[in-house]
Amino acid sequence: MAERVHPSAKPTAQPPQAAATGAPPSKGGPLPVYRPQPRKPPPPPRRRWRRSCCCSCCLWFTLILFLLILLSAASFGVFYFIYRPQRPAFAVSALRLAAFNVSAGGRLSSRLDLNVTARNPNRKLVFLYDPSSVSVFSGGVDVGDGSFPAFRQGEKNTTLLSATLAAGSGQTLNSAATRDLRGRTRLSLEIDVDTNVGVKIGNLKTKRIGVKVQCSGIDVAVPTGKAAATASSSNAACKVKLRIKIWKWTIS
């Protein structure tokens, strides 16, 4: 009796290439070759040398700036220790109100004779003054203007400055100032002096800096007739302010 052959229930194994690609096996031809997709190269690592270079530059700039400030402070300390610089001093020596009149229409006419003493307290510094502008005020009203000439002031020197001041020609006051000044028998005066001064140290001359002198506490009677009135300046006090300009800023 002939034996009956039964087909096997197990599937036929496919070649590795066919299994990988999922393609059916080729009958009688070459098997398909699997070609993997090329991967994109990873991005190059970031260069950090630029950041480190910037940090180094900032560090060096800060260090150099600190050294410059330190050297400037040391130089100023040495200069102060050697020369002991002091501000100039000013005082009102005398003031005479020779004429003062305010018309009903507000026209002001005045004449003042002013003497101011400038003193240099330094032993090794010479002051070089430019021409100075002088203004006298009473209650905020300008009652006289004039000027002092330029001068050189040596060490430990006292200089007497004299000027005749007068109200500007054609100066007219408003109604409130007119009523106030016409009714007064005495005037409280303030004096402002504006100038520029340089310092000479041996053969070295510094750049000019602004100086503003403000004197207050001066009292004078309004003259009657042709007799001039002498001001009382026993309580007068003068303050000296320096105006130092750095680029666009002015420090006073």
Query: pLDDT tens for residues 66-99?
Result: 899 988 888 878 877 777 889 999 999 999 999 9
Percent of the chain with pLDDT over 70: 77
pLDDT at residue 3, rounded to an integer: 54
Q: Which residues contact 172 (CB under 8 A, 6 or more apart)?
A: 105, 106, 107, 108
Q: Which of 4-13, 137-146, 222-231 has the weakest average pLDDT?
A: 4-13
pLDDT at residue 12, rounded to an integer: 54
Does this model's pTM top 0.85?
no
User: DSSP states of 18-69 as a string?
Assistant: HHHHTPPPPSSSPPPPP-PPPPPPPPPPPP-HHHHHHHHHHHHHHHHHHHHH
Closest CA to 157 of 123, 208, 198, 131: 123
Q: Average pLDDT in the 10-19 region?
A: 51
Cβ density class 181-220: b for 16+ within 10 Å, e for less: beeeeebebbbbbbbbbebbeeeeeeeeebbebebbebeb
Quick: pLDDT tens for 172-184: 899 888 888 988 8
Percent of the chain with pLDDT over 90: 43
pLDDT at residue 19, rounded to an integer: 47
